Amino acid sequence: MTRERLRRVARTATNGRLDAPRFYPQRPSRPSLHLWAAYLCGLAATQTHAAGGHHSVDDAAILDPGQCQLETWSDRHAHASQGLLHIGPACRVGPVELGLNLEREHGGEGRTVRAGPQIKWAFAVNDSLSAGVLATAGWQGDAHATALRLSGSSIVVPVTWQIADSWRAHINLGRDFYRAQPSTSHSGASLEWSALPSISFVAERFREGGGNAWRAGMRWTPVETLSVDLSRARGLRADAPAWWTLGFTWAFAR
């Protein structure tokens, strides 16, 4: 399924208004900064960034034919100067979406850079249900490294269900693989509500990189080709990290 088809489904309830909004498919207090770094490294090494922007639970949709997009976001530790910057270009190529994830993390122990490709395929099961497959891989090193080393990979099956005209649910099931550690499960579920043609809200619960967390946020779509996301996430452990994320997605024809 393409995002254009998802948008057509979402417009059913909003024909009397404007077009529906475009749907684009750890950080605690300072004593726990080591926990934050370990948590974020696990997430970043395996995170399947794609149609959902910075959200961890992905949708079962790909870009329309002839379309590209550029996603960028910044994570910020809720209580300290820890953070991560992500840039992710992607384009529709034939029946699949090809993308590249570039990240730079900074914290008390220095800087880490990461890079890796991703490929995604999705199809419509029926008018309200779609599924797909997403595969990613990542290489990382410190900011002064002359070569990056393979850190891990992921394979995820996303499913999207159009529950009602303004409600969508997404479910992910998959596995994270590491270069020198046992693999871990990769899963999550999210619920998206389009409150207005240009504003939607997302809540998700997910497991990535061996850690469990939740996220809640909102998406503003001022024009069809641009969306802005703001969210707060936190791990489920009592001493787990918490962080804010601000992201932008720009879609364009190539």
Give Cα separations from 51 to 89, 197, 202 (angstroms): 11, 19, 13
The dihedral through the CA atoms of 33, 38, 42, 45 has a sign that is positive
Amino acid at 241: P
Give Cα separations from 160 to 3, 9, 47, 107, 253 (angstroms): 11, 12, 18, 36, 25
User: Which phi and psi angles does 55 have, rounded to 5°?
Assistant: -65, 140
Output the pTM of the full model.
Answer: 0.80
* Grouped pLDDT means (10 residues each) for the chain, 254 residues: 53 31 32 44 48 84 96 86 91 97 84 94 96 96 82 96 96 94 95 96 92 95 96 90 94 93
CB 242 within 8 A of CB 75: no
DSSP helix/strand/coil, 146: coil
How much is the pLDDT for 108? Answer: 67
For 46, the domain range is: 3-253
How much is the pLDDT for 5? Answer: 53
User: Which phi and psi angles does 34 have, rounded to 5°?
Assistant: -65, -40
How much is the pLDDT for 152? Answer: 94
How much is the pLDDT for 163? Answer: 97
- 31: domain CATH number is 2.40.160.40
Give the tens place of pLDDT for each residue, 60-110.
999 999 999 999 999 988 776 788 999 999 999 999 999 999 999 987 667
Strands (DSSP E) contained in the chain are 67-77, 83-93, 96-107, 110-124, 129-142, 149-164, 167-178, 184-196, 199-208, 211-223, 226-235, 242-253
Q: For the chain, what is the domain count?
A: 1
